[in-house]
Amino acid sequence: MTVFEINGELLIIDAGVLFPEDDHPGVDLILPGFDLIADRLDDVVGLVLTHGHEDHIGAVPYLLKRRSDIPVYGSKLTLALVRTKLKEHRLRNVDFRETAAGERLGIGRQYDVEFIAVNHSIPDALAVCLRTAGGLVLHTGDFKMDQLPLDGRITDLRSFARLGEEGVDLFMVDSTNAEVPGFTTGELEVEPALRQVFDSAEKRIVVACFSSHVHRVQQVMRQAKLHDRKVVYVGRSMVRNMTVARDLGFLDVPSDLLIELKDLDHYPSSRVVIISTGSQGEPLSALARIADGSHPNVAVGPGDTVLLASSLVPGNENAVSRVINGLSRLGAKVVHKGNALVHVSGHAAAGELLYCYNIVRPRHVMPVHGEARHLIANANLAVKTGLPPANALVVQDGAVIDLARGKAQVVGQLDAGYIFVDGSSVGELTEESLQDRRILGSAGFITVIAVVDARAKQLVKLDLYARGFVDDSDSAFEPVRPQIERNLAQALGDGQTDQYALQQVIRRTVGRWVSNTLKGRPMIVPVVVAT
């Protein structure tokens, strides 16, 4: 999510989500730091979406819940995918404004916006050019330069070159594959590997991919038709997104190819293909439930083939490995990017990025969309093409960049804290609470309940409970009880009756004992009840 401001008007490009990793226990989604503009939402003149992937549109419903009448700009497919998301959140009467490549329009009083076709792993993706009083900005969104894309829609390098001639003051460039040398493999190169999978499959084929990867689903459809197999979707988001893509003409589904999930058992296993969600090992996804044998409609076994037709998102390695192992134990043959060319990236590699820098010749570059190492690698590529190192801006979330009279520079840093979605709770889960969950999950907890007679200055009763230890029986923690009793008695004898102060006595005593005895740092929850 990027926010531009000119003379009090705000324009937002993309509003996506991060997915939780192992150090985010209980978190469902991670939103951008909306709080930074919470008091400025009335100044937002538009939300521009580059394409329909979750990391670019997933936070749109949460933003619109804060102000529902923000005009939302995007291509036909992108807006259609957003509409389905908003229905789930019961958001209606949204101000959608469909755009297309080649269109140029004004947004608010300050922004002259042009949309440019780019090729990506989802159809209808757009780059965005902003002509402003401060300078010209070109934001690529996610893109690559596949010269033979399945839909025939290539990245519009002619427009990139035209803008370069006009003078791009700030080039914001996708960095995801900046460390990868050469050029990203084209989508057509996947076809032979898919065909081999279909040729060799004995029984059922299960293909897991991103629910928005229309191109990959199209290739699977083609192979299913050639091999006389019926196709069934499994997973709510897969059904929803592919229905939208078909209805809008972005997915060609041959007649009589699709069947309903309820009719799956009416066909021999050698004549069906299941296209499923869960390529990243998400615990509640269709593929994860198939792997652990809990899916109500789909089971795999010896002779079946499971194809993971997606790249591995960093942080999901363990989850995907668990799914692969589970499928293998059931007897299925698992084909994935590690042992076959069944997926190619949707992001430009280093060779393509260099090509763009040489075409555009920007005055300043700010790499976007990637981890720190990707941003740095992308900036280094720009410098290699002749950009002055000082004009390559590698920034973190919350950076404030000033663009005036064609010169860009970092002028500040704001605390762009994430917003955590935990069930129905949005923004209520704090980093401190997350840290407590991490401790509970990794080090266990100890609860000590002490009842004291404040008048008599005596300890009446002491109970101790522990969970999450190799030996969490009551007897295992008996050695610390006398120490707690002694230290509490001393504090009471010294006239200390404040409950918080007594709780701290317990916390320090238990903490020292656990550290010295068990070499751990569990959560310690002391409770003092004064009578």
- Domains of the chain in sequence order: 2-183+345-423 (3.60.15.10), 187-335 (3.40.50.10710), 431-530 (3.10.20.580)
Tell me the CB-side half-sphere exposure of residue 495, using CA atoms within 13 A. 0
Dihedral pair phi/psi, residue 31, rounded to 5°: -100, 160
Which amino acid is present at 357? Y
Q: Categorise residue 449: left if φ over 0, alpha if ψ from -120 to 50, beta otherwise.
A: beta
Report d(CA 238, CA 298) in Å as an integer.
Answer: 15
Q: What pLDDT does residue 282 have?
A: 77
d(CA 214, CA 494): 73
- Sign of torsion, CA 354 360 366 367? negative
195: tokens are: 């065909």
Maximal CA-CA distance, the chain:
88
Q: Quick count: other Cβ atoms within 10 Å of Cβ 326?
A: 20
Residues 6+ apart with CB under 8 A from 343: 190, 209, 216, 308, 309, 310, 311, 337
pLDDT for 518: 77
* Cα–Cα dist 88/81, whole Å: 12
pLDDT on residue 131: 97
In sequence order, the 6+-apart residues with CB closer than 8 A to the CB of 254 are: 221, 225
On the CB side of 243, how many CA atoms lie within 13 Å of its CA?
13
Tokens describing residue 467: 């969970």
Which residue has 């091999």 as its token pair?
A: 227
Residue 387 CB contacts under 8 Å (≥ 6 apart), including other chains: 357, 362, 364, 365
Burial degree of 479 (CB within 10 A; 0-12, 13-18, 19+): exposed
Q: Give 90's Cβ-side CA count (13 Å radius).
A: 0
Distance CA 470, CA 468 (A): 7
3-state DSSP percent of the chain in helix, strand and coil, to 5: 35, 25, 40
Cα separation, 317 vs 475, in Å, equals 40
- Quote the Cα angle for 1-20-318, to 5°: 130
Strands of 220-286 (E only): list them. Answer: 230-234, 272-276
The pLDDT, as a whole number, for residue 410 is 97
H/E stretch holding 226: helix 214-226
Q: What is the 3-state secondary structure (H, E, C) of 294-322?
A: CCCCCCCCCCCEEEECCCCCCCCHHHHHH
Closest CA to 104 of 56, 55, 169, 166: 166
Backbone angles phi, psi at 181, to 5 degrees: -70, 160
449: tokens are: 């309940």
Beta bridge partners of 407: 404
DSSP secondary structure string for all residues of 327-384: HHHTT-EEE-TTTS-----SS-BHHHHHHHHHHH--S-EEEESS-HHHHHHHHHHHHH
What span, in angstroms and rounded, lies between the C-alpha atoms of 155 and 149? 10
Predicted pLDDT at 442? 64
Report yes or no: 221 and 263 within 8 Å, Cβ to Cβ.
no
The pLDDT tens digits along the chain (531 residues) read: 999 999 999 999 999 998 776 666 667 788 898 989 999 999 999 999 999 999 999 999 999 999 999 999 999 999 999 999 999 889 999 999 999 999 999 999 999 999 999 999 999 999 999 999 999 999 999 999 999 999 999 999 999 999 999 999 999 999 999 999 999 999 999 999 999 999 999 999 999 998 889 999 999 999 999 999 999 999 889 999 999 999 999 999 988 999 999 999 999 999 999 999 888 877 778 899 999 999 999 999 999 999 998 876 666 777 888 899 999 999 999 998 888 888 899 999 999 999 999 999 999 999 999 999 999 999 999 999 999 999 999 999 999 999 999 999 999 999 888 887 776 667 666 667 666 666 666 667 888 999 988 888 888 889 888 877 766 666 778 888 899 999 998 888 888 888 888 999 998 998 888 888 877 778 888 999 988
Q: What are phi and psi of 75, to 5 degrees?
A: -75, 170
- Tell me how far CA of residue 458 lies from CA of 67, 388, 395, 447, 451, in angstroms: 57, 73, 58, 20, 9
- Both tokens of 169, joined, read 């003051």
- For residues 521 and 436, the answer to whether their CB atoms sit within 8 Å is no
Non-local (6+) Cβ contacts of 184 within 8 A are 144, 145, 146, 177, 344, 345, 346, 347, 348, 349, 352
* Tally of residues, the chain: 531
